[in-house]
Structure 1
């Protein structure tokens, strides 16, 4: 066999996106906050761009290219006045564990008990339970059994009620006593019969405790008021503030789309740089440099404007299609796909997808992510209802059912036919589970 080297030419067709096209795609999918950040980066990296804040417009035309940063710092006369506000805004919120320690130290206990309590709080897991056995703790920290028992009881006095318990039964027992709801029967139920209650073995529980179904029902009403779940997070919860891109407003009795100009800054090119391009004293290399950056800035402005116009167009399509939903609620949500909107506006589906993802619309019914309005449909004799509308109907049926005789999925299927909604029992079950609703047997109440 002969082996050697050979040189061949092959033609291959590939597609590469230019930097400008990549920027156009990225800008389309940015939220307002992300776009503000991107614009700030552009301002820093592009020497011909200047920045206009909502409440302050410096006269950049007075300054040359080389002292732009100096001028910006010089114009910010109120920087020192803002220091206190920034400090206040950066105060760290207490974590759940820190809050427990604050409560503990407020008790003004003996130093020994204070230390033991601190160690116990350190052993409370994220579900609010003590995750160390008393014997193990006693041996590890050289604490007497009686002292430990007394300290655990003190820790269990902290808020929320039930914190520091060893199991669910003890948590519910603490809450019963804290609220002064405790009775011998109730204590017996939460300590010895939680499993039977969870499996709805009501007749067995009544027989063992020698009580009637009515008495058990009264006890269950109280137990259902207790809080079985406690979360102890390591970090404070961050509040997420959603800024809508558009809102639905009423103008002369008609619902209209209004774009929200909510940027904290606006970019612009000062006329100073335009003048440099026609200045005969400026060399060609400098003009080429300025022209390049001005073209980049103009392309960015175009992409930002295109993003705005596409958001308005898609929001207008949503309003037209989902007018009844906005006026009357979820049961009037209609089937709507991104392809339909793309075809109507002569856009690509990927463009529509990028626009609606992470962008919010403020409506008279509340705040919704724009992609929420896109849903698969259910064919009916009158119109195509969206899956959201059908789920809303199922939720409504279950909410209004007789809890002693809850509706089966088959019965729900039959009820939906009254609204001209024809779906299978399996689809009813799928939608019910997606709503987090239990089946009929598990929804049954006393």
Structure 2
């Protein structure tokens, strides 16, 4: 090559790539699924895995039931990476594991049929959440307008200025109101586009941020490639492996592109909570809702077939893989059952006053507090509580609503929701001609033993949609 120079060199490059085993994906997915999704997934597993079958007799139910009764004493182990299943000693497995089963809880003595609602529109569902959020004033008015003008599919298609004009508020108030409504159930509600709808749902499902970012980039830059099934180009552009891409597709398939269509026009609907918290005498019983979930076991025909020395290698490998998958599924279901029970039991013990008296009696509670009590990792507690609901005497409550931030007081921590309600009560009772300043509200709260800064009062007042002192004085003239 004339005038050219050929340089040869060897260089090393370190890079990180995501890798998560199929078993771990399955276990994490099962842990996070609400009851309705779990039923659908189990049907798919039963169709796909011949080793897995429904148990038609109840010979194992008594032993399973006794183990359920001992849930308080039995430790809940974190999920492993699946190495233990990959290293199965098949001879030992034949001796000890033929009776591995999953049996749903079968609580008796309660009439759960009373937990039925009439037809509920998306508007009613969202307005209930708005009222219990404690938001009012300009932001509350804007939120109500947004809720009343969502499309049938649950999207917010208006402009901020239109809502601001309708309810006579600032556009910044409309933006805050939209962010609030987007935290409501169903996940993805009030999104402005399909991309935002999916992003909101993945965030609320506590999907790892790296996957949320990858999916956002996929939808932003590779929508046409996705529609045309040019998957290799997508993987090359994003620099991800096949299993990571498959997991991303799995996550997207779990989202609902039209969250508003889940309500209205379908007659009476049975509420499908994941757990019932039922008061019995002077304590609360935790009842997992596993209605419709089949009892599972492994088919002994295939287990015995593996003992056949004449079995060809490919068939043996296929059956062994299906046995591993069935075993992992059953273990994952049992872990899910115990983890939900453990977490809800702690939530119930901490928030007894809330269950008895209402939202003002919620106590400050963090994920770490429940993790410490249950021995679970914080991320596991998060997955257990995300997207799942409990039926209580206070109504249908999302489990994550049991977690609230707190403020220091002379008598201990107090929930921010209760402090907000106190601020609202102070403003409602003030002299209309001489409204209280934020500093005066601080002094009144300090007099009740609540240690709070002026900027915090201003923040809570703004979140409640309460105008400033001067604005309230002008409005009331």
TM-score normalised per structure 1: 0.53
SS at match of 2:390: strand
Distance 1:11 1:238, change over 3 A: closer
Q: Report whether the alignment pairs 1:248 with 2:273.
A: no
Distance apart, 1:396 and its partner CA: 3.5
**Cα deviation 1:77-133 (Å, max 9, x = unaligned):** xxxxxxxxxxxxxxxx9xxxxxxxxxxxxxxxxxxxxxxxxxxxxxxxx999xxxxx
Residue in 2 that maps onto 1:364? 393
Distance apart, 1:339 and its partner CA: 1.8
CA contact (8 A) 1:39 1:267 kept: no
CA contact (8 A) 1:380 1:420 kept: yes
Distance 1:284 1:305, change over 3 A: same
Cα distance in 2 for partners of 1:398, 1:264 equals 51
Give the one of 438, 441, 444 matched to 1:412: 441
**Cα deviation 1:264-288 (Å, max 9, x = unaligned):** 5555433433343345675554343
Distance apart, 1:10 and its partner CA: 7.3
CA contact (8 A) 1:248 1:257 kept: yes
Residue in 1 that maps onto 2:19? 16
* Structure 2 counterparts to residues 25-424 of structure 1, below 5 A: 25-51=28-54, 238-239=262-263, 243-263=272-292, 265=294, 267-278=296-307, 283=312, 285-401=314-430, 406-424=435-453
**Cα deviation 1:268-324 (Å, max 9, x = unaligned):** 433433343345675554343222102101101111221221111111221222222
SS at match of 2:459: helix
SS at match of 2:467: coil
Distance 1:411 1:28, change over 3 A: same
- In structure 2, stretches of 5+ residues that fail to align are 57-120, 122-146, 150-161, 170-257
The structure showing larger relative contact order (alpha-carbon pairs under 8 Å, at least 6 residues apart) is 2
CA contact (8 A) 1:322 1:333 kept: yes
Cα distance in 1 for partners of 2:292, 2:476 equals 52
**Cα deviation 1:12-50 (Å, max 9, x = unaligned):** 887732211122222222222222222222223223233
* Aligned CA-pair RMSD: 4.0
Distance apart, 1:399 and its partner CA: 4.5
Cα distance in 1 for partners of 2:410, 2:6 equals 72
Cα distance in 1 for partners of 2:14, 2:259 equals 57
Distance 1:22 1:275, change over 3 A: same
**Cα deviation 1:141-168 (Å, max 9, x = unaligned):** xxxxxxxxxxxxxxxxxxxxxxxxxx99
Distance apart, 1:361 and its partner CA: 2.0
Cα distance in 2 for partners of 1:13, 1:408 equals 53
Cα distance in 1 for partners of 2:259, 2:315 equals 52
Cα distance in 2 for partners of 1:393, 1:20 equals 49
Distance apart, 1:358 and its partner CA: 0.8
**Cα deviation 1:347-366 (Å, max 9, x = unaligned):** 22222222211111222222
- In structure 1, stretches of 5+ residues that fail to align are 54-92, 94-125, 129-166, 172-193, 199-233
CA contact (8 A) 1:334 1:389 kept: no
CA contact (8 A) 2:364 2:414 kept: yes
Residue in 2 that maps onto 1:75? none
Distance 1:236 1:278, change over 3 A: closer
Kindly name which structure, 1 or 2, has the bigger radius of gyration based on alpha carbons: 1
CA contact (8 A) 1:330 1:392 kept: no
Distance apart, 1:376 and its partner CA: 2.2
